Amino acid sequence: MGKTLFEKVWDNHIVDKVEGGQEILFIDRHFIHEVTSPQAFDGIRKRGIGLYDKNRIVATADHNVPTKDQHLPIKDELSRLQVDMLTYNCKEFDIELYGLGHKNQGIVHVIGPEMGITKPGMTIVCGDSHTSTHGAFGAVAFGIGTSQVEQVMASQCLLVQRPKTMRIIIDGELGKGIYSKDIILYIISKLSTSGGTGYFVEYAGSAIRSLSMEARMTICNMSIEMGARGGMIAPDETTFEYIKGRVYAPSAKQWGDAVSYWSSLYSDEDAIFNKEYVFKAKDIEPMITYGTNPGMGMGITQSIPTTKEVERPDNLLQSLNYMGLNPGESLLNTPIDHVFIGSCTNSRIEDLRIVADFVKGKKKADNVQAFIVPGSKQVEAQAKSEGLHDILFEAGFELRGPGCSACLGMNEDKIPKMEYCVSTSNRNYEGRQGPGARTLLVSPLTAAVIAVEGKVVDPREYLNQDTFV
């Protein structure tokens, strides 16, 4: 019997099997950041052991960093302490750190791929649930807790239970103005916030094949939002083309061997998945969330469910009460206070291009504070060189330095209580963007159109015939 893509990569990393069905899984790359690593370093020190292999660890500071005045010391004392601690730990253990001020600094899930560290067939972990992003390259990549960060530091391995496999096929062509963010929000709205729990997902089908690497990363990034352990896409020419020439890409001498190995990473025709879903690309509208988990999403022209349409009306009402919305109503024309474009989901160069392409020559609405946070210093530099910064600045967008920013209300960028933020990030939980903040998740294009109109609108009605493919 054939193997799935996931099984090929996973099986290639099994050191041994132990009692109770757990497996010892070898980890090729370990990304760390300032929030979930200090206690792990502490553990390593207390045990008096060293790192298994410092060269397999890559560090960056992203969650706590301010996005304004990055050259100045961090104002918040605890944030500064955490970032300083990472610098100190990396120095002590001699780990490569892309810290604040480094030309490669950025959100961990943006810099890994852009430096070519993330490659097909690898196992990749990080103390961060959005590690699933790297699955876009055909890697088995998933988020872990701090105890596991310590395990990987100590042994380069994890003791894990093999997840079940799921395939989600999206066939056909996407409509105009529909992006990969809409695909993943659509999938999560169908499967719910727990529909993928226990599974490792493979995304396949012609709609997925047609996507760029940036767009594929957006999809894999949000796998965790349906509870899945991770998500992956079989590598192909698009993948190889993206990796070629990057700092940590295989050398010219190794390139042929690498590509021939990577080309073997796909699900065999007779491979069996524990679960399978098929969706049609033409059924997907621009999506928006109305509630307080990413599964509470709908097509932008649809209405919020009524209490009769859901299993747990009490949960719906609690969410809508927090959001200041009512069952059965449409979100169209709802005035918006903030538009945030950024996060490990949508802060890559392609996202910035989509936004700039739309807002060129336009102005953001007066009632909206619009800000863009590039995912990395490299994205920032690229955007500047393409002139995107000027376009966005002219349109009234505030441009910040790279970091996790308003995705998680941990740094200085927070959304005030009860204000609406249309956001390209990944979570709309209560208080996620700041205590009492109300988040509506959308694609970068939808966010750009809403920034200009000042209220929720269907982006498709504002597209110039010639501009968008």
- Site residues for another protein, 399-428, by CB under 8 A, read 408-410, 417, 427
Beta bridge partners of 96: 58
Contact mark string toward another protein, 295..334, x via CB under 8 A? x----------------x--x--x----------------
Query: How many chain residues interact with another protein (CB under 8 A)?
Result: 80
CA–CA distance, 399 with 390 (Å, rounded to integer): 10
Of 373 and 457, the one with the shorter C-beta distance to another protein is 373
Span 127-146, contacts to another protein by CB under 8 A: 127-129, 143-146
Q: How far is the CB of 467 from another protein (least distance, A)?
A: 36
Specify the DSSP class assigned to residue 285.
Answer: P
Of 12 and 212, the one with the shorter C-beta distance to another protein is 12
Q: Identify the residue whose tokens are 């852009």.
A: 114
CA–CA distance, 263 with 5 (Å, rounded to integer): 11
Q: Which of 6, 262, 397, 420 binds another protein (CB under 8 A)?
A: 262
Q: How far is the CB of 117 from another protein (least distance, A)?
A: 12
Of 154 and 463, the one with the shorter C-beta distance to another protein is 154
Q: How far is the CB of 26 from another protein (least distance, A)?
A: 6
Span 194-253, contacts to another protein by CB under 8 A: 194, 197-198, 224-225, 227, 229, 250
Cα 257 to the chain's mean position, in Å? 30
80, amino acid identity:
R
CA–CA distance, 80 with 72 (Å, rounded to integer): 11
CA–CA distance, 179 with 284 (Å, rounded to integer): 9
Of 85 and 463, the one with the shorter C-beta distance to another protein is 85
Span 166-195, contacts to another protein by CB under 8 A: 193-194
Task: Give the three-class secondary structure for 219.
Answer: helix
Span 25-54, contacts to another protein by CB under 8 A: 26, 28, 35-36, 38-39, 42-43, 47, 49, 52
Of 71 and 312, the one with the shorter C-beta distance to another protein is 312
Helix extents (H) in 228-296:
237-243, 252-262
Of 15 and 278, the one with the shorter C-beta distance to another protein is 15
Q: Which of 209, 212, 236, 261 binds another protein (CB under 8 A)?
A: 261
Of 1 and 253, the one with the shorter C-beta distance to another protein is 253
Residue 305, Ramachandran bin (φ over 0: left; ψ between -120 and 50: alpha; else beta)? beta
Backbone angles phi, psi at 216, to 5 degrees: -65, -35
Question: What torsion do the CA atoms of 25, 29, 30, 31 make, to the nearest 10 degrees?
Answer: -150
CA–CA distance, 345 with 181 (Å, rounded to integer): 8
CA–CA distance, 141 with 438 (Å, rounded to integer): 30
Q: Interface with another protein includes 365 (CB under 8 A)?
A: no
Task: Answer for the pair 305, 311: CB distance below 8 angstroms, yes or no.
Answer: no
Q: How far is the CB of 279 from another protein (least distance, A)?
A: 22
Q: Which of 390, 419, 430, 458 binds another protein (CB under 8 A)?
A: 430
